Chain A
Amino acid sequence: MSSFRRAQQWATFSRVWHLIDLKWQNPYESAILIKKYLTGLWKPIFHPLNNCGDHVVVINSKEIALPGDEWYRRAYFHHRTYAGAKSWTLAWELHEADDTLIVQKAVYFALDKNLLRRQHMARLHIFPDEKIPPGIAANITNQIRPLRPVPTKYEEIPKEKQAQFPQLFDFPKDYVQGSNLWGKPDPERKAQPIRYPYKPFGHEP
């Protein structure tokens, strides 16, 4: 075996570090993509029993986008094993408490339910913004293309360009512009604090 071939084989069994930017991405759609790299499904040598998964570094998990009113509809169940200690935390509350938990849970749900699941999760590194520790950033060699293009907000467009847009109709008087409360059943409700690691407050025993 030539030295080149030997290095090729090493590369086969090494773990690659991938980077994915989840800005304005649906975490539940992206989780299926992340799963492909975490479990090694993208390699021709894949086998469900061989541990050939890679590392995935997720950035901008704070800026994920859930479709529709899912921020106010999706509930995360938690039970602390005490009597009556069950709780349902809405997605927007969970996201305010910890920016990485929704992505983490989406990937955890997407992974197969087997003994390798926790090992795969250990290779997922989630960061709420673009700051990555230099020790991790040095390993990254590949970037995964996000599923959707990132849309530009109307507010982010410079004023000169905004003025050039034709105004086709007038908004009704009671229309609230730029509201991010679409679909929120109770706009005055504030996020409840949760414990970290994820232990929402329920009825104490």
Chain B
Amino acid sequence: MVFWGSSLFFKFNPNRIYQPGPSKFWRRRRILRMSAHHFGRRRNCYRLALRSVQKALVYSTKARKLRCNDLLKLNGQRLASASEELGTNIRVLRMGLHHANVCLDNHMLADLSIWEPRTFQALSNFAWNNYTSQGLGDIHDLGSPPEGVILRGYKRQ
């Protein structure tokens, strides 16, 4: 049975005098596998490959945070435009759902607005009515909320 996976990178050579860790070949092989998709001499020359691989790992570490930020912005933008299409805004939608303990995040709501527009419209109408009935914030610009929504227990007495 032959393992061609990452176990080879830690292969111990028993013929060598005491030298801990994998042999020089496999140590280099580990870096060169990671630079396999790089361009030019950075792909095959070890000295250059090492530098570019280390930089690439730094980039990917930073990108984890940046990707989260980008997705947050994108979902916020999508949700804002989806709620503006229906005549409300994202603030009314978020607060209306928040006060009814509807725990859907921006990502899920944005997906609903794309793939299930009627469900999203129902949620949006409910949030708008809920927001209005509780007398929250400044909603005079939006006008009266859409009819046909029954609020049980949310209406302020």
Give Cα A42–Cα B85 distance, bound, in whole angstroms.
Answer: 8
Residues of B within 8 A of A47 (CB): 74
Shortest distance from the beta carbon of B143 to any chain A beta carbon, whole Å:
15
Shortest distance from the beta carbon of A80 to any chain B beta carbon, whole Å:
37
**What bracket does the count of chain B residues touching chain A fall in?**
10 to 19
Quick check: B114 and A45 within 8 Å, CB to CB? yes
Residues of B within 8 A of A43 (CB): 81
Residues of B within 8 A of A45 (CB): 78, 114
Instruction: Indicate if B77 sits at the interface (CB-CB under 8 A).
Output: yes
Write the chain B residue with the least CB distance to A45.
B114
> What is the total number of residues of chain A having a CB less than 8 Å from a CB of chain B?
8
Shortest distance from the beta carbon of A76 to any chain B beta carbon, whole Å:
31
Q: Is the interface of A mostly helix, strand, loop or mixed?
A: loop
Instruction: Indicate if A109 sits at the interface (CB-CB under 8 A).
Output: no
Instruction: Indicate if B82 sits at the interface (CB-CB under 8 A).
Output: yes
Give a binary string over B80-119; 1 marks a CB under 8 Å from any A CB, 0 the rest: 0110110000000000000000000000001001100000
Quick check: B84 and A46 within 8 Å, CB to CB? no
Residues of B within 8 A of A41 (CB): 77, 81
Give Cα A41–Cα B78 distance, bound, in whole angstroms.
Answer: 8
Residues of A within 8 A of B74 (CB): 46-48
Give Cα A45–Cα B78 distance, bound, in whole angstroms.
Answer: 7
Give Cα A48–Cα B73 distance, bound, in whole angstroms.
Answer: 11
Write the chain B residue with the least CB distance to A47.
B74
Give Cα A46–Cα B113 distance, bound, in whole angstroms.
Answer: 12
Give Cα A48–Cα B78 distance, bound, in whole angstroms.
Answer: 11
Instruction: Indicate if A178 sits at the interface (CB-CB under 8 A).
Output: no
Which of A44, A47, A48 has most chain B Cβ within 10 Å? A44
Question: Which residues 27-63 of A have a CB within 8 angstroms of B?
Answer: 41-48
Write the chain B residue with the least CB distance to A43.
B81
Shortest distance from the beta carbon of A33 to any chain B beta carbon, whole Å:
12
Residues of B within 8 A of A44 (CB): 78-79, 81-82, 85, 110, 113-114
Give Cα A203–Cα B140 distance, bound, in whole angstroms.
Answer: 57
Give a binary string over A7-31; 1 marks a CB under 8 Å from any B CB, 0 the rest: 0000000000000000000000000
Write the chain B residue with the least CB distance to A12.
B114
Give Cα A100–Cα B14 distance, bound, in whole angstroms.
Answer: 79
> Can you report 10 A-B residue pairs in the complex whose CB atoms are below 8 A from each other?
A41-B81, A42-B81, A43-B81, A44-B78, A44-B81, A44-B110, A44-B113, A46-B74, A46-B77, A46-B78
5 more A-B contacts (CB under 8 A) besides A44-B79, A44-B114? A42-B81, A42-B84, A44-B113, A45-B114, A47-B74
What 6 pairs between A and B have smallest CB-CB spacing? A44-B82, A44-B113, A42-B81, A44-B78, A44-B114, A45-B114
